Structure 1
């Protein structure tokens, strides 16, 4: 693992050269392929250096982090053109990627907490530094205080675990069983807010709407996955207590997912609609993890990776429209098929992945999660039917509203999509639909 961190460290001097913007992105892609070719064991941790290592869960999420960070640079060409604090922007993305890779690869619970919280700071700087409206300050504060308020109990929980076991290695904690409600609540709350679960989701649409495209991509692509990753890790030693109280979280997340799906139909802001659809998808992930069965763990992991690519691509599409029309309102973003017929295909492809159509990873994840939740209780079938139906509904609503109909006569003229934008969308869509061919890697890591 250390060679990857050193690769990132030595990329830092390149950030200080103005003309090195695309080189940084190419090096990230190179790093991605280097990481893909590392030896990976399905059962155990591998490539261990000091206390950094990865298993199958970390592997997929680290790959996703590098990939999305690379695409963030590709999507932010406007910053490059306008020279909008470019050096600091590149530095910020590198720091964020470093913190995310450390979060996913550390084996120590306290270090996990440290990097988990540390990744909040570059995200906050992205929103407050490169956001569009003055409300970005308020959105940044929401993000900061929601996350920090829920994270303090997590820190106390980690201290309690160390005090009672003299041990903080995530791998070794699986031999312990901690049947203690307060510890359970404190360990899990921070991750539920980060996911975000319904009732603690208010920071997410705000942060998305105010963030620049790169901020939205990293928030949707990776930051929500930190919560799921943390839950997959701590559930191992909180099994017994979760069997008693897991039902509360399943009920809240499924009812919340249904309600948020309905709320998507009332949105008039493109980004807001995509952000709310993220909350609806993450509610299924929470339900899957809380059922504590094999299908649930598999499905949540697959859906997290699928949603990371799909949601990030949808924010790119919203930004492509925003760069031309300077508005995210759905009343102005109408009839885009007249202007950008080729882009319309990408809207269709990403929307179909968002509603879990084959052959996307979202479909595989949702099938596993539906299996998991219905085997846990047949009554969840009602809410799952609703969530699946309405997720297709709001995806179609978004597609038909933006692509069809009469275009706004206030639009005078603008250029169609350029090759960079089509490549950006292809690099979101291709892994999302090609990885289905290697589902065995995602399905058998949990021995």
Structure 2
């Protein structure tokens, strides 16, 4: 793993050359893709780092989304808007993500997990749009920090009782007394906020709406996956307590997902709608993980990868419209098919991906998650049926409102789309639909 960490640090010396960074991020992605040609459970071990198949999938996703972020943020380079610092922040964020997903020690995992906050905050504050970005940044920082400090204390208590914080060597808490319950909530809550679960989700729409396109793509594409990955790593430490409280998490996440779906139907800001839809999708991921079965785990990983690609592509589309129209409001951005007919195809393809239509991997993941949660408790069928129906409703609402209708009178002409924009959108859509042909690649436990 160190070779990729050093490659990333090497790229930081060339932040003044936009094309060089853009090209070598894709090369790094390609080299990492070739790295998994074995049948070992763990590989790339050394200096406290290593990866299994789960880490591999999420590191590859991080590298891919970061490469696409640089492609989508060309306007920062053209306007000379402190682009070397912008590239440095993206590379630092990628470094933090690689370290998080590949760390074999819980303490190193915690430090890397927290350090990803700083570049994200600088991206939102430095290249965000409205003055409200300061409030959005503070929301994100304090929500995450407030939830994460108890996690550090619980990890130190695990070290005191077990004598090790190395993953798969940590002493599991097999009893369910009051103290174990407290430590369980301290450990899990940090990842629940990061995922985010309904009731602790308010930082996400604010951060998304105020962030630049790079911040939104990274947030949706990778940073929400930190919560899911963390849950996979820590839930196995508290198996008995998790069984006691799984009903609570599943109930809140599915009912919360329904409430958020209703909220999506009354949004007029495109970015806000996509951000709230992320909360609805992640609620199903949370319920699948908490149920603690192989189907749930596989489904959660597939939906995390699929959502990362699809949601990032939708934010990229929203930014393309914002650059042309100067607004993200669905009340103004109507009739886009008249101005950008070719872009309408990408709106359609990514929208159907968002509602888990075949042949996207979102469909495969949602089938796995639905089977997992329904086999755990058949009453959850009602909530899941509502989630599936409303995910199609708010996606169709967004597509039809933006593409059809009378266009804005004061707009006389605009560019239908550049080749680089179409390339970026295609690189989001292609893996989303191709991966289902070899789904064993993204099912780490089959």
TM-score bracket for the superposition, by shorter chain length: over 0.9
1:424 aligns to 2:424 (yes or no): yes
SS class of match (2:170): helix
> Does the aligned pair in 1 maintain the 2:261–2:394 contact within 8 Å?
yes
Q: Distance in 1 between matches of 2:334 and 2:260?
A: 24
2:250 matched residue in structure 1: 250
In structure 1, what is the equivalent of residue 445 of structure 2? Answer: 446
Distance 1:173 1:296 in 2: 23
Quote the offset at 1:412 in angstroms. 2.4
Q: Please point out which of 77, 81, 84 is paired with 1:80.
A: 77
More deviation, 410-419/387-396 = 410-419
**Is the partner of 1:328 in helix, strand or coil?**
coil
Question: Which residue in 2 is equivalent to 1:299?
Answer: 299
User: Does residue 1:364 correspond to 2:364, yes or no?
Assistant: yes
TM (normalized to structure 2)? 0.98
Deviation at 1:413, TM superposition (A): 1.8
| CA positional deviation for 1:128 | 0.3
Q: Which residue of structure 2 aligns with residue 8 of structure 1?
A: 8
Separation of aligned partners in 1, 2:9 and 2:126: 23
Q: Distance in 2 between matches of 1:367 and 1:41?
A: 29
Native 8 Å contact 2:172 2:238 kept in 1? no
Q: Within the alignment, does 1:46 sit opposite 2:43 as a pair?
A: yes
Per-residue CA deviation, residues 175-217 of structure 1 (Å, 9 max, x unaligned), is 6646410111001000000000000000000000000000000
CA distance in 2, matches of 1:148, 1:279: 19
Cα-to-partner distance string for 1:353-411 (whole Å, 9 max, x where unaligned): 00000111110110000000000000000000000000001111100000011111121
Residue number among 93, 97, 100 corresponding to 1:100 in the alignment: 97
Match for residue 110 of structure 2 among 110, 113, 126: 113
Task: Say which is worse superposed, 341-350 or 2-11, in terms of deviation.
Answer: 2-11
For residues 89-146 of structure 1, the C-alpha deviation after alignment (integer angstroms, 9 at most, x for no partner) is: 0111110000000000000000000000000000000000000100000000000000
Q: Tell me how far apart the structure 2 counterparts of residues 236 and 70 of structure 1 sit (CA, whole Å).
A: 33
Q: Is the 8 A contact 2:162 2:171 kept in 1?
A: no
Q: Which residue of 1 aligns with 2:239?
A: 239
Secondary structure at 2:50's aligned position in 1? Answer: strand
Distance 1:123 1:324, change over 3 A: same
Once the two structures are superposed, residues 317-347 of structure 1 have per-residue CA deviations (whole angstroms, 9 ceiling, x without a partner) of 0000000001000011100000111100000
Looking at structure 1, the residues matched to 87 and 339 of structure 2 have their Cα atoms a distance apart, in angstroms, of 32
CA contact (8 A) 1:42 1:55 kept: no
* Selected match of 1:122 from 119, 122, 146: 119
Q: Which of 55, 58, 61 is matched with 2:55 structurally?
A: 58
8 Å Cα contact 1:40-1:46 kept in structure 2 = no
Quick one: distance in 2 between partners of 1:253 and 1:165? 32
The residue that corresponds to 1:163 in the other structure is 160
Alignment match, 1:390: 390
SS in 1 for 2:329: coil
Q: 1:204-247, CA deviations, whole angstroms, 9 ceiling, x for partnerless residues?
A: 00000000000000000011000000000111121111011111
State the Cα distance separating 1:446 from its structure 2 match: 2.6
Paired residues in the alignment total 443
What is the 5 A alignment of 1:41-440?
Answer: 41=38, 44-173=41-170, 177=174, 179=176, 180-440=180-440
Between the aligned partners of 2:340 and 2:39, the Cα distance in structure 1 is 44
Q: Which runs of 4+ in 1 moved over 4 A?
A: 40-43
Counterparts of 1:270 and 1:319 in 2: how far apart (Å)? 10
Task: Confirm or deny: 8 A CA contact 1:178 1:237 kept in the other structure.
Answer: no
Distance 1:387 1:168 in 2: 38
RMSD: 1.1
The gaps in structure 2 that reach 5 residues or longer are none
Query: In the alignment, is the contact (CA less than 8 A) between 2:257 and 2:284 conserved in 1?
Result: yes
Alpha-carbon distance in structure 2 between the residues aligned to 1:441 and 1:26: 25
* 1:416 aligned counterpart, secondary structure: coil
